[in-house]
Amino acid sequence: MDNDDYGMNVVLKHRLFGIVDLYNVTKIHWGYRNRPIHDNAPRVLFESDIHNTGNTYKIADILGFEVLPATHRMGGNDVKAF
């Protein structure tokens, strides 16, 4: 990853959580199976190599999401959810 590659920012509309902001996402895995979770429901994994973290959400709970290029690294007080 280049030093000037900040990934993408995702605005996710979730059925239960409302609007969730995810910053510096570098990979999106559609249909991810998160084991050993008991329900084994298909999910979307939003992964950040920049922050070395990621979150999964059930596809059935996602009402929609928008992806925009990130212009800088978010961190500290800038991070609302991720």
| CB of 12 closer than 8 Å to CB of 22 | yes
The tens place of each residue's pLDDT in the chain, 82 residues long, gives 555 689 999 999 999 999 999 999 999 999 888 666 667 788 999 999 998 999 999 999 999 999 999 999 887 445 554 4
The per-residue pLDDT for 3 is 53
The answer to whether the CB of 44 falls within 8 A of the CB of 64 is: no
Domain ranges of the chain: 1-8+27-61
- For residue 77, the model assigns a pLDDT of 47
Question: How confident is the model at residue 39, as a pLDDT?
Answer: 77
Q: From 24, 34, 26, select the one nearest 57 (Cα to Cα).
A: 34
Tokens encoding 63 = 């009402």
| pTM to 2 decimal places | 0.79
Which residue from 52, 26, 31, 51 is spatially nearest to 41, judged by alpha carbons? 31
